[in-house]
Structures are given as structure tokens and as C-alpha cells.
Chain A
Amino acid sequence: MAKTLYIEDEKEIGQWVTEDLTGRGHDVTWLTSGNQLEQYLNNIDLAILDIMLPGLDGFSIGKRIKKANQDTPIVMLSARSAVEDKLEGLSFADDYVTKPFHPDELAARVDALLRRFQKEEGILEIRHLQIDTKSLIIINKQTEKEILLTGKQYQLFQYFLRHLNQILTKEQLYEGVWGERFMEGDKTLMVHIRYLREKIEENPAKPTIIETIRGIGYRVKK
């Protein structure tokens, strides 16, 4: 269970979000101001911050959290939607959600950040695959056999898992895994995805794990 620090001074909204996230399996600590921040600074996996707060504002709190621990993902959750606010927020925070928001959207973004910062532990199940996200041991549930990947396939699959449910463009994938600039027309990525599919898909001709999103890229959905 990821420990989430949530700072919000509006009681109704605070309560609602806390209940919703708790219901989704998060361990949420809700504060109405940043006054007791120090106590939690080193003991959280993720922070959700309002901006307009009594005392320290959300920007200052966020910067303090990042200073204490660079690896703590931060989501700004505010009714302020001006470009300047977003830019200031995103200068240190990892995501910016504007109010009013749908709780599903917030939860999705929180999950995405936890995955990206690898704060999520345990076993991930995607259709016929069972994946240990820490050791990245992949087991085919139907055959109960481990699927072994080569280095690049492993990196590629891990990149997909870290960006679960997100559509990744060819450029993002290539640059994220190979660390080089993608050249239009390069077939390397396609070849590796074909090999990866041959290993993990039940039917590589009709892939269900790695989806092709025509015109955009690929996606691995939970």
C-alpha cells in the first residue's frame, strides 16, 4: 500500500478524495495545511497538494518535499488553471490536475506516477501473464512456465510496465529504451516488438498484451 500525503484545506473535497483513494487501496494521510509537514517528509511514497492553502502554499510545500526526497512523486491538485500556475507547478511536480476532476482520473494519474517511480510493489497480472514488478519475473499462468527475455526485450517490456495503460509513441519507446534519437523509418523497434510479442503473446498475430494503436504507437493495458 502506497503511503500518500494529501494536503487540502477544503473539508468537503479533502474528505471525498481521502475516502475515494482509501477505497482504491491507498494509505492516505490528509492534512489541512503544511504545518506538520516535517513529520511526514521522509515517510511518504507520494504527495497530492492543493495550491491555495493557509500558511505555506502548495508550491513551497512541494519544493520542500522534493528537496527532502527527489524520488517522491508529487501531484498538484488545484482549481488554478492559468498557464503560469501550471508551469510553476510542473517545474518541480510530476503532474498537475485541475479541479473539478473525476476521481478515476486522479487515481489513474496517481497509479501512473507510483509505477513510474517504482513505488508499487507486488504482483501484476495482465491477462495470461503474472509479473513480479520488483524482480520482473514473468510467468505464463496457463503453462506455469517462466518467460525469459533478452536484455533489450526485458528493457522494452519494463518500459511498457512503467508506463502501464499509457500509449507510447515509437519515438518515446525508442528513445526511452535505446537512449538515442529516433530516426523516422527506423525498423529496429518494430523488430524488437515482434520478437517480444512472439515470447509473451498467446497468439503473436493477434496480440492482446502489446496493443498497436494505429497511427500513434503501442500500449500495454492492465
Chain B
Amino acid sequence: MKRFLKSLLAKYILIILIALFLFQAAYITIVIVFFNLMGDPDSPGNGQESYDEIEENWHQEASQIISEDTIAHVFEEWQEVYPNASMFWVDGDGVLNLQSNLQENLPDEWNVTYTAQFLKNHYDEDPFTVVAFVGGHEEEGFIVFQLPRDMLKSEGQRLNEEYGWTIVILTIGVVFLFIFLSLWFFRGIRKRLVHLQEAMEIRDTDGLPILIEEKKQDEIGDLEKSFNRMVQELRESREREQEEEQLRKELIANLSHDLRTPLTKINAQAYTLQKMDLPTEAKRSLKLTSTSIEDVDRLIENLMSYTLLMASKYRKDLKEINIIRFLRQYLAAWYPVFEKEEFEVDIDIEAFEQNKWEIDPLWFSRILDNLLQNVLRHATDGKYIAVWTESTEHYDAIVVTDKGKGMQVDTEQKGAGIGLSIVDMMVKGMHLDWEIDSTEKGTTIKIIRMKRAGN
């Protein structure tokens, strides 16, 4: 019940009820104030009396009259109270004796016929006419009081005429009040809904919606509550996912760490042995051991990267990099390695039209690492590596070429496959393209950035 009282439905019902009450109250008031008064035309006003009282008083005044002077006096008194009234006396001889403010054309001599005619004409007509015998006896004649009926309209009728417009205005006012209240009510709802919608659109730094303030305990309040619950659930699920991701990463990192530690120990032993005075055969074996250790190390690294890439969990941070500058510095680190292996190194890096590439430098290094390691591992026969830039109308490219025996012949080293898969995923992950052309005379790999319109 408490909840219902706080609901929007309850509020709306309240508005409707208020409106209905106001309509009813207005009509009842109107009925009481106006029609009640109009329905009672005898109600008094301005010190004047109702028809019945006039009639009664007139009769009473008439019965108390004793002389002609008294009649004149009565006429004077009544004329003060009813200035519009007309009065006259017809005495016992049928002569129009005394008159006051007489409007009608009346004969001086009244016979029985005319008297009956007069009474007949004025019974319950306008003007309101009262006839009373003087002193209570027909011998003294009779006095007549006449008053135009509109002089004695009821209070209600007069009010209706004077203030009728207020009824209309009040009615319109009530209608407008109802419209205003309804609008005000719906405006409030609309405002809250719009506000809610805006609040729902706001995203936190982690891309999730933020909690919104729960203001009232009504239907919209329930909606806000549900939304907050949903956000909470989303957050929890995101946290769980992140925890899982963290566990997964930790697992992979720990696994690779645990694999590499014994590898380092083997390497240490091999190195120590190599320093000793050993037969050539044994030295050759140790050299092979070292090479194998390096291969296994690279495989572990690639496997780790591959797993993370497949699960889209490999950290990527794209930024605008001057690719030419980056490439030169990168190759400066690799040059000594090729130099040591007595490769012919041919580097020709020319600035592109657009040197800013949107890449993750670590990813790009990883791609080139894999390509150059492949050259070092599988194309040693050629003793040649060239890195250069190529620019055409449609694309800019970085080209790596060797003079090895090509990929197809290379059946022993399947590990190169995973290295190139990583290259493929990373190149595409940075919205670049790549091409590989491998023959028995060498391999050429291009990392391509297509030129877009306006670039």
C-alpha cells in the first residue's frame, strides 16, 4: 500500500480526483450561490420586502387607516421605500381621490364594472398590484399599490446578470487548471525519463555505463534500480572476465617462465662446456645444442604470443609513429646480428609521402623480428638480406628480401609457420596488409599500407 501511494499511478489518480472534485465543487458552488438565490424570488434585498410581505403589509396599513390624512401619510412612507411604485385611493363613492406617482391612465370615476375590469387586468400581472380596503371596510373605498415587477427581481437573478461571466471564467479556469496540472505531471515524468536516458548513455572509462542516482520510489525509480542492478551485474561479469584473463595471462607467463629457466640452465652448462678444451666433434654437438635451445626459446615465445593473439589478449597500443625513423632505429639493433653471420646487408630506406603510420611499435618490432629471424634461420645460404621501402600510386610498403632457398623447400622447420601466423595476425591487427613471394631463389615479404583517398 505504501508503495502504491508513492507510485506515479497513484499521483495521476490523485490529479484526476482533484480535477473531478474541482468540477463538482464548482458546479455545486454555482448551484448554491446562483440558482438557489434565483429559485427563491421572494428573498429580500435593499430593505425591500417580498411580494407576499408587501401584500400583507399593505393590507395591514389599509386596515389601520382612519382618515384621509393617514392615507396621504402612508403613501408618502411607502413612496420612500419603493420610489418606482405607484399608489392611489378610490374612495367609497368610486372617485379616484388620492394618488402618488401614478403611471397608468386611470379614470376619475370608478364604477363596479371598471373596478372588476381593473382587478381582472392586474391579477398576477406586471406591475404587481395589491388592492386593500381602507380601514377594513368597503365603505371607505380601497387603496391600490402598484410596483413594476422588474423592480423586485430576486438577488440570484440580479447576480446572475451581473456576474454571469464569472461562471464561464471559473469553469474555463478549472479546465485550464486541470490541463496545467496534467501537463506539469507529465512534464515531470518526461524530464526524468530524458534525464534517465542521458544518464544511461554515459560510459565509464572501461566502456561500461555508470550507476545512476535513484531519486524516487515510483515506477521510474524501479527502472533506475533495475538499470543499476544491470550495470552492477555487467561490472561483476567484466571483473570476472578480467580475472580470468589475468589468470590466463599469468598461467601462460608462468609456464613460459618455468620452461625457460631449465633452458637457461642447459644453456649455461653448454656454454661452460664450450669454453673447455674439447674435441671438435663435441664442440659441434654443443653448438647444435645451443642452436636448439634458441629454437625452443623462440617457439615458446611464439606459442605464448599466438595464444594471446588468438584470444585477442595481446596488448595493443596504436599510435602515430614516424615509420622511417622507427625502421632505421630498429634495423640499427639488428644490423650487428647479420654482420656477425657475415650477411650482405642492403638497406635503402626512403621517406614516404606519408611517414606517419598508425601502429603499435612493439607489434611492428615483433613482426619484423619474426621476419628477420626467419631470414637468419632459414635463409642463411643466401647470406643476403635487403630491407627497403617501396612506394607506388596505391600503397607504401616495407620490403624484406633474402636469397635463401625459399619457404617451400623448408620442410624441417615447421616452426616458421607459427611465426608467420603471428605476423599475419599482427599485420591485420594494425590494419595493414602483407604479401609473401617465395621461390627457390629467395623470399620477398612486403608489409603494405594502402593509400587512402586524401592521403
- Does the CB pair B332–A79 fall under 8 Å? no
Q: Given that A16-B272, A80-B253, A100-B263 are known contacts, is A213 also in contact with B325, CB under 8 Å in the complex?
A: no
Residues in B with CB closer than 8 Å to A37 are: none
Measured CB to CB, the closest approach of chain A to B251, in angstroms, equals 11
Instruction: Look across to chain B and name the residue whose beta carbon is closest to the beta carbon of A15.
Output: B268
Given the known inter-chain contacts A13-B264, A169-B329, A216-B331, please indicate yes or no for A103 contacting B351, CB distance below 8 A: no
- Nearest A residue to B386 by beta-carbon distance? A215
Q: Is A85 an interface residue (CB 8 A)?
A: yes
Q: Which residues of A contact B347 (CB under 8 A)?
A: 213-216
Is A213 a contact of B332 with CB atoms below 8 Å? yes
Q: Does B328 have its Cβ within 8 Å of any Cβ on chain A? A: yes
Task: Report which A residues bind B (CB closer than 8 A).
Answer: 10, 12-13, 16-17, 20, 52, 78-85, 87, 98-103, 165-172, 184, 213-217
Check B260 for interface membership: any CB of A closer than 8 A.
yes
0/1 per residue, B241-269, Cβ < 8 Å to A? 00000000100110011111101111111
Considering only CB atoms and an 8 Å cut-off, how many residues of chain B contact the other chain? 41
Residue of A100, A167, A170, A215 with most partner-chain B CB within 10 A: A100
Residues of B within 8 A of A165 (CB): 336
**Contact of B271 with A by CB under 8 A:** yes
Q: Residues of A contacting B271 with CB < 8 Å?
A: 16, 20, 102-103
Distance in angstroms between the alpha carbons of A145 and B362 in the assembled complex: 47
Q: Is the CB of A216 within 8 A of B264?
A: no
CB A94 to nearest CB in B, in angstroms, measures: 15
B348, closest chain A residue (CB): A215
> Residue on A with the closest CB to B266?
A100
Q: Looking at the assembled complex, report how far the CB atom of A70 sits from the nearest CB atom of chain B, in whole angstroms.
A: 25
B264 touches A171 (CB 8 A): no
> How long is the Cα–Cα vector from A182 to B204 in the complex, in angstroms?
40
**B residues touching A (Cβ–Cβ < 8 Å)?**
249, 252-253, 256-261, 263-269, 271-272, 293-294, 297, 301, 304, 314-315, 324-325, 328-329, 331-333, 335-336, 346-349, 351, 362, 387
By the criterion CB–CB under 8 Å, are A99 and B328 in contact? Answer: no
Task: Give CA–CA (A213, B314) in the complex, Å.
Answer: 34
B265 touches A12 (CB 8 A): yes
Q: Is A168 within 8 A of B332, CB to CB?
A: yes
With A16-B271, A81-B256, A103-B271 in contact, is A215–B349 under 8 Å at CB? Answer: yes
* A52 and B257 in contact, given A83-B314, A99-B263 (Cβ under 8 angstroms): yes
With contacts A10-B261, A167-B336, A169-B332 taken as known, whether A184 is within 8 angstroms of B351 at the C-beta atoms is yes
Measured CB to CB, the nearest residue on chain A to B249 is A82
Q: Which residues of A contact B325 (CB under 8 A)?
A: 169, 171
The interface residues of chain A lying within 8 Å CB-to-CB of B261 are 10, 13, 79, 99
- Which residues of chain B come closer than 8 Å to A184, judged between CB atoms? 324, 351
**CB nearest neighbor in A for B253:** A82
